[in-house]
């Protein structure tokens, strides 16, 4: 038997985080839990602490950090605070694997801390690669860190590439469920509400990515993520809508052969695969039953009704700080949509307007990216409040 692996989970209270904790608790003998971290949901964190006994925790907000002390007065491990605390947990020398499962741009600096420590990183936090893919992947090479895909599509691509030569890969075909509004016409899309958008047909996820799935921004971000994780140009990354979410993505090779990775839609498989890669471990989940699924269908993705997908290709091809601006504007617009302050189609409009307004940097540093994110957020926030008061 191999020795247990020491894991830190950044964002352990979220959708990916709790499923990672589930995997860790199913196979307690295989893992040592180093740090668990959250932003404010310390009640959930305290429950995880009692259940899987991490060595330490890190909490972003100070009031929540104080509350954790009240909830767990007997916890003797380190209770770290703020972004600095998250970075300390991410870079901790004992980590064998860091699961990066914070949401949005908030994951950039802690994920970079794990990269600079040369760790193996299970990367769920795709906005990190969207905002700073060039910088993150260059740093991973420089510090000897390994980024392992957690996103189901990228895990599928990784699994399809096992045993293949890089030079034999022609294209990636990323599948998309199409989200809850796949068959809506443009007029209906203008009127959809946050409650409707939060009802994803196949996946239960955090609120932000659920809205990104409805606009297809998530799929666009996944194209950018694939470009950086696997170093393939956007011209060789295609998207196809596959409403059943059984094929998680495909790789086409130079001889026209296509490999697909399949399974029921669950994040437990890609999460566990990232923790055990390149090995596999048993996993007790329902098995795929193709006869009861009946048919697997495919259609092309409509970039007119879902302009966010086209915007993602555009900012990827432009390079520099463009994708960081689009990501920041999207985060602001999604939050405003969830609050009922703007409409669904205002999300792509906010991203386009912010991109149009903001100056670009061709070769940004990490500090430039942090400043660009803040400036784009300010612009997008003003834009959303103008829309709200029209």
Give Cβ neighbours of residue 323 (< 8 Å, ≥ 6 apart): 130, 131, 133, 224, 312, 315, 316
Helix (H) or strand (E) holding 108: helix 108-116
Q: How far is the CB of 18 from ligand NDP (least distance, A)?
A: 8
Q: Is 225 in the site for Mg ion (CB under 5 A)?
A: no
Q: Please report whether residue 151 would count as binding Mg ion according to CB under 5 A.
A: yes
* Footprint of ligand NDP (CB under 6 A): 11-17, 38-41, 60, 101-103, 106, 124-127, 151, 203, 205-206, 208-209, 267
Q: Is 58 helix (H, G, I), strand (E, B) or coil?
A: strand
In the complex with ligand NDP, the residue whose CB is nearer, 6 or 12, is 12
* Burial (CB count within 10 angstroms: exposed 0-12, middle 13-18, buried 19+), residue 320: middle
Nearer to Mg ion, 127 or 153 (CB): 153
Q: Is 300 exposed, middle or buried (0-12, 13-18, 19+ CB in 10 A)?
A: exposed
**Min separation Cβ 373 and ligand NDP, Å:** 12
- 141: exposed, middle or buried (Cβ count in 10 Å: 0-12, 13-18, 19+): exposed
Q: Which helix (H) or strand (E) holds 258?
A: strand 258-262
Q: From the CB of 159, what's the least distance to ligand NDP, in Å?
A: 15
* CB of residue 217 to ligand NDP, shortest distance in Å: 10
Q: Whole-number minimum distance, CB 350 to Mg ion, in Å? A: 23
Give the integer Cα–Cα distance in Å for 78 and 229.
33
Choice between 11 and 307, CB closer to ligand NDP: 11
Partner from ligand NDP, Mg ion, none contacting 171, C-beta within 5 to 8 A by type: none
| Counts of helices then strands in the chain (DSSP H, E) | 17, 12
Stretch that binds Mg ion, among 6-14, 144-152, 365-373, 378-386 (CB under 5 A): 144-152
What minimum distance in Å lies between the beta carbon of 40 and ligand NDP?
4
- Strand, helix or coil at 107? helix
Whether the CB-CB separation of 267 and 23 falls below 8 Å is answered with no
The listed partner (ligand NDP, Mg ion, none) that binds 159, CB under 5 to 8 Å by sort, is none
In angstroms, give the least distance from the CB of 140 to Mg ion.
20
Q: Which does 56 bind (CB under 5 to 8 A by kind): Mg ion, ligand NDP, none?
A: none
By CB under 5 A, tell whether 127 contacts Mg ion. Answer: no
Binds 102: which of ligand NDP, Mg ion, none (CB < 5-8 Å by kind): ligand NDP
Please report the sign of the dihedral spanned by the C-alpha atoms of residue 124, residue 370, residue 374, residue 215: negative
Q: Measured between alpha carbons, how far is 118 from 140 in angstroms, rounded to an integer?
A: 7
Of 308 and 353, the one with the shorter C-beta distance to ligand NDP is 308
Binding residues (CB under 5 A) for Mg ion: these are 151-153
């Amino acid at each position: 038997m191999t020795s247990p692996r020491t894991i830190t989970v950044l964002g352990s209270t979220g959708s990916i985080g709790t499923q990672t904790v589930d995997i860790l608790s199913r196979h307690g003998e295989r893992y040592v839990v180093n740090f668990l971290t959250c932003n404010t949901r310390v009640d959930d964190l305290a429950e995880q602490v009692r259940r899987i006994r991490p060595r330490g925790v890190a909490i972003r907000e100070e009031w929540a950090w104080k509350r954790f002390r009240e909830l767990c007065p007997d916890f003797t491990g380190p209770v770290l605070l703020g972004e600095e605390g998250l970075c300390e947990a991410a870079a901790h020398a004992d980590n064998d694997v860091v699961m990066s499962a914070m949401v949005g741009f908030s994951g950039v600096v802690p994920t970079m801390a794990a990269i600079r420590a040369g760790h193996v990183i299970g990367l769920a936090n795709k906005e990190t690669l969207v905002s700073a893919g060039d910088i993150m992947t260059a740093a991973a090479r420089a510090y000897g860190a390994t980024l392992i895909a957690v996103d189901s599509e990228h895990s599928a691509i990784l699994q399809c590439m096992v045993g293949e030569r890089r030079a034999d890969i022609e294209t990636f075909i990323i599948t998309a469920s199409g989200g809850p509004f796949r068959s809506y016409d443009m007029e209906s899309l203008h009127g959809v509400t946050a409650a409707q958008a939060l009802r994803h047909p196949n996946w239960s996820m955090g609120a932000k990515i659920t809205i990104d799935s409805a606009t297809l921004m998530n799929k666009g971000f996944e194209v950018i993520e694939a470009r950086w994780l696997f170093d393939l140009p956007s011209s060789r990354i295609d998207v196809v809508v596959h409403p059943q979410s059984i094929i998680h993505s495909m790789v086409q090779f130079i001889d026209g052969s296509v490999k697909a990775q399949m399974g029921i839609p669950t994040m437990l498989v890609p999460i566990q695969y990232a923790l055990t890669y390149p090995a596999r471990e048993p996993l007790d989940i329902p098995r795929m039953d193709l006869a009861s699924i009946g048919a697997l269908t495919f259609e092309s993705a409509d970039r007119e009704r879902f302009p966010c997908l086209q915007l993602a290709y555009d900012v990827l091809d432009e390079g520099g700080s463009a994708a960081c601006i689009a990501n920041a504007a999207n985060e602001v617009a999604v939050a405003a949509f969830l609050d009922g302050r703007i409409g669904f189609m205002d999300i792509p409009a906010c991203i386009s307007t912010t991109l149009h307004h903001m100056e670009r940097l061709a070769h940004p540093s990490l500090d430039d990216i942090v400043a660009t994110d803040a400036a784009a957020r300010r612009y997008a926030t003003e834009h959303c409040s103008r829309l709200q008061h029209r």
